[in-house]
Amino acid sequence: MLQKGKESCSYQHCDIGSTFIPKLQGKFLATENFFYTSKFFGLGPRAYLSKLMNAGQKFCGEDWLKLKGKYVSHDEEDLLRYCFSSAYIVALLHDSLGIALDDERIKVANQVGSIPLDWALGAFILQTTADADIRSHNWIATIYSDESPTLLSIIGIFMIMLTAWSISRWRKPQLKTIYDLEKGRYIITRVGR
């Protein structure tokens, strides 16, 4: 599933399908599904992928009747999702993105301090950055739009500056400096317009 479309990759290397993803650097905070899956398997916030892989293999390999009896408060569909999710997380992070099974850079959490992290916060951040990007590319449209008096203001300021410059040039006397060879000095004369 993660490798679908890899043959149409137009880059030297594509980790997920035909999408180029640069080598991941730094620390990562995995939220939502990563958090709930790790919590279900009783793993801590800094558990290795290898621990998740082992827990998922053990869980998915058990008899489903025993699992349903052991986890009575969970629906069978939820149990199937946890099984799939453990395999998917390892496939995404390790098999596709190349993160080592014993990598310590990944932390799972559903809040930072007292601020909960969920898809709504992620969607807000994505939408905010997208809106800012759109606004920065449409500055010409903003100038010409009927809602904005910006174009009129720019033209007005330009006309005032042009008028002030013309008046200052008109009122300023035009002088010409000539060097008189016979007297050996400079003579400044006014030039008529």
Tell me the domain boundaries of the chain: 6-135, 139-190
Work out the number of other CB atoms within 10 angstroms of the CB of residue 158.
Answer: 10
Whose structure tokens read 């008109």? 170
Point out the least confidently predicted range of 44-48, 68-72, 76-80, 143-147.
Answer: 143-147
> If you average pLDDT over each of 81-95, 116-130, 144-158, which comes out highest?
81-95
How far apart, in whole angstroms, are the C-alpha atoms of residue 9 and residue 31?
28
What is the separation of C-alpha 87 from the centre of its chain, rounded to a whole number of angstroms?
Answer: 27
DSSP for the chain, please give it: -TTTTGGG--SS--SBTTB--PPP-S-EEE-THHHHHHHHTT--TT--HHHHHHHHHHHHHS-HHHHHHH-TTS-HHHHHHHHHHHHHHHIIIIIIT---TT-SSEEE-SEETTEE--HHHHHHHHHHHHHHHHHHHTHHHHHHSTT--HHHHHHHHHHHHHHHHHHHHHHSPPEEEEEETTTTEEEEEE---
Q: What is the pLDDT of residue 23?
A: 79
Looking at domain 6-135, its CATH class is: alpha beta
Statement: the pTM of the whole predicted model exceeds 0.85 = no
Across 134-155, average pLDDT = 62
Higher per-residue pLDDT: 93 or 22: 93
Q: What is the pLDDT of residue 63?
A: 93
pLDDT at 122 > cutoff 80: no
Tell me the two tokens of residue 186: 């400079």
* pLDDT digits 0-9 by tens, 19-64: 777 777 888 888 888 999 999 999 988 888 999 999 999 999 999 8
Point out the least confidently predicted range of 51-60, 86-95, 137-146, 147-156.
Answer: 137-146
Point out the least confidently predicted range of 99-108, 138-147, 171-180.
Answer: 138-147
Percent of the chain with pLDDT over 70: 73
Per-residue pLDDT band for 167 (boundaries 50, 70, 90) equals confident
pLDDT at 12 > cutoff 90: no
Q: How far apart are the first and last CA of the chain?
A: 82
Look at residues 35, 24, 28 and name the one whose alpha carbon lies nearest to residue 106: 28
Higher per-residue pLDDT: 138 or 128: 128
